[in-house]
Structure 1
Amino acid sequence: MSDGNTAQDSIKNEDLVEYGIEDTPEFSKALPLGVQHLLAMFLSTVALPLVIASAIGLGNSDTTYIVQMALLVAGVATLVQVYQIGPIGARLPIVMGTSAIFVSPLISVGTEFGLAAIFGAVIIAAPIEVLIGYVFDDIERLFPPLVTGIVVMLVGLTLIPIALQYSAGTPGTDTFGSLRNLGLAALVFAVALGVNQLFDGFMRSAAVLVAVIIGYLAAIPLGLLDLSAVGSAAWFSFPRPLAYGLSFEPSAILIIGFAYIITSMETISDISGTTESVGRQPRTEETQGGLVADGVMSAVAGIFNAFPNTSFSQNVGLISFTGVASRSVVGIAGVFLIVFGLVPKVAAVVSAMPNPVLGGAGVVLFGMIISIGLRMIAQGATLTQRNLTIIAVSLVIGVGVEWRSDALAQLPSEAQVLATSGLIMGGVTALVLNAVLPENGDSGTPSVMGDPIAEDDD
């Protein structure tokens, strides 16, 4: 019976495919389709480096350069996934960009140790994801949707204070928390929410990007947009490897290594979603190649002063929606990213984005990350008493140590970096509790307050 359903689903998917993975649309069609992929991922690719750079106190020129490198590496990584270099790459239409999973850990590392430690940890820990690609079948049971969903939720939850801070402006200035700043952030938030709810298709998926563009323009008459750095930025420049040096801090490497484990789960899901759009499961070499590319290109990112890369789920959704799974279309998006990454003026325009605009977008973006984690749990785990306990304890510990890190101020400095990371503490708590708490006899156990939330299938 299940085989019949699978075959029927495959036929339905094939009927919805306009261009398959190996199909090449004529250029007049491929170009706008590639730009569509670029628009779907552009905001996240530039917003996350902006958040990290601002949080660790980088100046305008450094921020512009890191955004430039984020675009460049994302473009190269996308082309590697699309066209493959040896065993590196899935040969699938996968768009790459800065991973949200790493934002909170990188801020913790950068605040404590600086940029050199960030890039050192990014490079040294990257092989973890390569290794996962080859042993995933043996360790998959350790990372069920319950655990990975909790960690993804923690990513969004630990970033909430940053979104609210940006919405108020720049801390320490006279205008911090002014009605002008909060009003601009509210405008971005309202537009994003309105477009998402009132439109369908691509407009809905690009709602935050539309809101940011409107907020960016609205900042001009409010006197909040400073484009002075754009005029002095060059039209073209080559990257400078290891421009900020490297340092290797054990606690920083542990934090980033754990983030690589979690982002590999996200990549596996994205690869499955991509092939499912054309009615099949991913082949082993595609999953392995995709994970190897994630790890290798994240190490390359560290060398070229960018943050770790991963597959972008919104572009997987775009493929399913449009029925265009062509690798060559995604390759066009990768070329655009490389071009933008070689033009500092583009990065300077992006880096000039006022904090309230980024804050208003951050409220939506980080909230969406929380909802994605919640959906992962809802779709992959039964909400029994055991699982609800794991969720509750993990989230409380993760959010607690992140938001009140001063409670652990008496710990040694190395231990503080680990102990105050919500992703590490909450994620490890979820991992350990899921491994040690028994599942037998949990079926049908009432949830908190005595109401049965769900029952196990058996």
Structure 2
Amino acid sequence: MSGPAATDSDSVVLYGIEDKPPLGKAIPLGIQHVLTMFLGNVAPPLILAGAIGTVTGETTFLVQMALIVAGVATIVQAFPIGPVGARLPVVMGTSFAFLGPLIAIGNEFGIAAVFGAALVAAPVEVAMGLSLDRFRNYFPPLVTGIVVMLIGLTLIPTGMNYAAGASAGPSAEGYGSFANLGLAGLVLIITVGLNQFFDGFLRVISVFAGIVVGYVAALAMGMVDLSAVAAAGWITVPTPLKYGLTFEPSAILTVAFLYLITGIETIGDISGTVSATGRDADEKELRGGLIADGVMSAFAAIFNAMPNTSYSQNVGLVNFTGVASRYVVGIGGVVLLVLGFVPKVGAIVSAMPDAVLGGGALILFAMIFASGARLIAQNVTLNHRNSTILALSMALGLGVAFRPEVLQQFPTEVQTLFGSALVTGGLSALVLNVVIPGGGVGTGPTAHTDGLDPDSAANIGPDASGTVDDD
């Protein structure tokens, strides 16, 4: 086993990328990576299953698939297969960026269209990896920050429904009851308390700890039905294409645009990870990471999981602990696989009351918005030009989200595509940034949204280079 790596003044690393900590240390360090990303990985399939009627009762299965795919994708990033993978300690998981649009697609066209769009559009990120230098200038911090803020804002109503105790919305029985609001409030208070008043590992797992406390409280209150846990088996085998695939052009275009955004996020995550070792990410690492994002998202669609992307909270964990070993992250990937193949684990998570998940999700969604706002504040001068782009893009994006009827005269495909605040607002920002003179903005720090930002519950700080990684 290799010992701690030598460090220089620009490095925070204790174990380098190729170092192998002793197994007694490597296993808990790998589990720590899983704890850091666990909520962000299982929350999207939980919310998706609750929001799309055609997969009601399939929550446990979708959670299992999310864990299995995240495990495989993480292992591939750490130990590449040919050009697929960065050969870095990059933790992969379900992307929150896709959640809102995929819910809309699922309700409009069915769950098969969700996975069909995710599969067909996945080569977008592969193409980004193969043409790395050509697209980065089109997504400066102004454009990326606007998209990140829209992601957070459009997900907050979903988080509020969960906090009120019913993913189906205000018409559901028990919506907004004191019991539900109390559970959500408990999770929120525990999470914020650990985040703000503690350091180290407790801060890293504050969201996870809040969820656990809320779950235990719900058990004590008799609000958890564990019958599905008793009925669940101990071992399962993944079922590819369980829901089939259908291909809707508007859905594919929507998801393709989101792959562009998550590709930029992945570049930021890889750069933040490598910066812990005192150097910059090279082109091979960036290209391999992007290709893996695309290939693993296609793999996810085949195995009934949402698109995968790199997790920024784990980038922060690398910089905080100084453990940059890809072998440690590989162990984390194996742990995810084991959890995914044990149905009882998925059943336990699926039995979680909506209000418990909502308390954590509200924080997560709100911090997504805050991370986008901070990205713009720290990297963009809000002069007349940039303020106009920001204001108009946000207005158009939120406008179609709040008043989708404005598009009712258009074909259904157009309504689905441009009814997404991310697409309308993001495309507006992209186009305005190109056509309005006076930009001259190149690449810059990018933002990420599968978890919380560095100053929030699930993350622990800026990366070693000083740029902010906003998951």
Equivalent in the alignment of 1:447: none
Deviant stretches of 4+, over 4 Å: none
Structure 2 residue 35 is matched with structure 1 residue 39: yes
Aligned to 1:231: 230
SS at match of 1:301: helix
Deviations 1:390-421 (A, max 9, x none): 11111121122113223433332111101210
SS of structure 1 residue aligned to 2:279: coil
Do the aligned partners of 1:126 and 1:257 also contact (CA within 8 Å) in 2? yes
After TM superposition, the structure 1 = structure 2 runs for residues 132-211 of structure 1, keeping only pairs within 5 Å, are 132-170=128-166, 171=169, 172-211=171-210
Q: Report deviation, 1:19.
A: 0.2
SS of the residue 2:203 aligns to: helix
Q: Which runs of structure 2 are paired with 1:84-99 in the superposition (5 Å)? A: 84-99=80-95
1:403 aligns with 2:402: yes
Mapping for residues 18-33 of structure 1, pairs under 5 Å: 18-33=14-29
Q: Deviations over 1:369-401 (max 9, x none)?
A: 112212222232222121111111111211221
Quote the Cα distance in structure 2 between the aligned partners of 1:173 and 1:259: 31
| Structure 2 Cα separation of the partners of residues 263 and 432 of structure 1 | 18
The count of aligned residue pairs is 432
Partner of 1:117: 113
1:280-318 Cα deviation digits (max 9, x unpaired): 111111100000000000000000000100000000000
> Match of 1:132, SS?
helix
Matches within 5 A, 1:404-443: 404-439=403-438
1:310 counterpart SS class: strand
Which residue of structure 2 aligns with residue 451 of structure 1?
A: none
C-alpha distance in 2 between matches for 1:380 and 1:23: 35
Aligned to 2:445: none
Cα distance in 2 between the residues matched to 1:37 and 1:71: 13
Which of the two has greater helix per residue? 1
Which amino acid in the other structure matches residue 9 of structure 2?
K
> Structure 2 vs 1, CA of residues 415 and 278 (structure 1 numbering), >3 Å: closer, same or farther?
same
| Contact kept? 2:250, 2:416, Cα under 8 Å | yes
| 1:17 aligned residue | 13
| Amino acid across the alignment from 1:288 | R
Quickly say closer, same or farther: Cα 1:146–1:440, change in 2 above 3 A: closer
Distance in 1 (alpha carbons) for counterparts of 2:439 and 2:318 = 40
Distance in 2 between the 1:440 and 1:300 partners?
38
> Which residue does 1:247 correspond to in 2?
246
CA distance in 2, matches of 1:106, 1:140: 25
Residue deviations 1:86-132 (CA, integer Å, cap 9, x gap): 00000000000001111111111111111100111011000000000
Alignment of 1:439-458 (within 5 A): 439=438
Matched, 1:356 2:352: no
How far did residue 441 of structure 1 move?
11
Gap runs ≥5 in structure 1: 1-9, 443-458
**Residue 59 (structure 1) shift:** 4.8
Aligned to 2:322: 323
Residue type matched to 2:81 in 1?
I
Asked if the contact 1:117–1:248 (Cα under 8 Å) also holds between the matched residues in 2, the reply is: yes
Deviation of 1:231 (Å): 0.8
Question: Contact 1:390–1:434 (CA<8 Å) still a contact in 2?
Answer: yes
Offset of residue 60 of structure 1 = 5.2
- Please list, as runs of the form range in 1=range in 2, the aligned pairs for 1:257-272 lying within 5 A after superposition: 257-272=256-271
SS where residue 327 of structure 2 aligns? Answer: helix
Structure 1 residues 440 and 212, CA, compared in 2 at 3 Å: closer, same or farther?
A: closer
Kindly state the Cα deviation for residue 67 of structure 1 after the two structures are TM-superposed.
0.6
Cα RMSD for the two superposed structures: 1.5
Query: Within 5 A, what are the aligned runs for 1:268-307?
Result: 268-307=267-306
Moved more, 100-109 or 377-386: 377-386
What per-residue deviation string (whole Å, max 9, x for no partner) do you get for residues 238-273 of structure 1?
101100000000000000000000000000000000
Residue 140 and residue 53 in structure 1: after superposition, are their counterparts in 2 closer, same or farther (change >3 A)? same
- Correspondent of 1:129 among 106, 110, 125: 125
**Aligned pairs (5 A) from 1:330-369:** 330-369=329-368
In 1, are the aligned partners of 2:54 and 2:110 still within 8 Å (CA)? no
User: Which residue pairs with 2:447 in the alignment?
Assistant: none
Between the aligned partners of 2:152 and 2:135, the Cα distance in structure 1 is: 25
Bigger-Rg structure (1/2): 1
Aligned to 2:463: none
Query: 2:446: which partner in 1?
Result: none
How far apart, in 2, do the equivalents of 1:392 and 1:439 lie? 17
Q: Are residues 437 and 62 of structure 1, via their aligned partners in 2, closer, same or farther at CA, if it must alter by over 3 Å?
A: same
Separation of aligned partners in 2, 1:206 and 1:309: 21
* 2: CA distance, partners of 1:129 / 1:376: 23
Deviation by residue 1:54-91 (Cα, 9 ceiling, x = unmatched): 11125554111111000000000000000000000000
Q: Which amino acid aligns with 2:10?
A: N
